[in-house]
Amino acid sequence: MHDTDLDDLKQRLRRFAAERDWDQFHSPKNLAMALAGEVGELLEHFQWLTEAESLDLANRQNEEVALEMADVLIYLVRMADKLDIDLLDACDRKLDINERKYPSGKVRGSNKKYDEYERSS
């Protein structure tokens, strides 16, 4: 377990990019594209697995998945930094919205989208 928070990670990523003169390439557009690519690499690990297999990855595969997830987080944090977005604040706001859209008393155990359960109520 690490004591790193998102702000520490953001600062470390800034230094990493600056030391390599990569900031010039880190536009929001480029970072979004890189993020999509990394999500694709993450998905490759689960392609063709059953639900049960996806829950029980071998140690080596679990480590590969962890590193792909780290790549996703790195690009997401870097993009948020470039756009001056506080990710934790955005998550709080989004969870508030989702709590209103998906009240537990109405949606418990359902995988329907919010507008689908409203039509069936």
Fold of 1-84: Helix Hairpins (1.10.287)
Which sequence spans correspond to the domains of the chain? 1-84, 86-121
pLDDT range class, residue 116, cuts 50, 70, 90: confident
Question: What tokens does 116 get?
Answer: 């689908």
Q: How far is 73 from 77, CA to CA, in rounded Å?
A: 6
Q: Could you read off the pLDDT of 12-28 as tens digits, one per residue?
A: 999 999 999 999 999 99
pTM: 0.88
